[in-house]
Amino acid sequence: MEKRITILEVLAEQNQKSIDRLDRSIADLRSDMNCRFTEVDRKFTDVDRKFTWLIGMQSTTFIAIVGIFAKLLNIF
């Protein structure tokens, strides 16, 4: 009977160690994922800024072209 209890205690301890390793692995994985999502967010911010500049330049060019045509046609 004592031998069975000892075996069960050893198995329970091994299971607990395995669960602890899994917890640490999951925590490390979450940390890595958070770092990568932070990188992706930073890159999207850079793209958003460039996109805003691009739209601004296109709008300015369009207004300038409309102004040139209006001047040529003596509308204004």
Tell whether the torsion through CA atoms of 58, 62, 67 and 69 is positive or negative. Answer: positive
What are the residue ranges in the chain where pLDDT is below 70?
76
CA atoms within 13 A on the CB side of 46: 6
Distance separating alpha carbons of residues 71 and 65, to the nearest angstrom: 10
Confidence at residue 29, expressed as pLDDT on a 0 to 100 scale: 93
Cα dihedral sign for 68, 71, 75, 76?
Answer: positive
Q: Residue 76's pLDDT is what?
A: 62
Q: What is the pTM assigned to this prediction?
A: 0.51
Tokens 């296109």, residue located: 58
**pLDDT (0 to 100) of residue 50:** 85
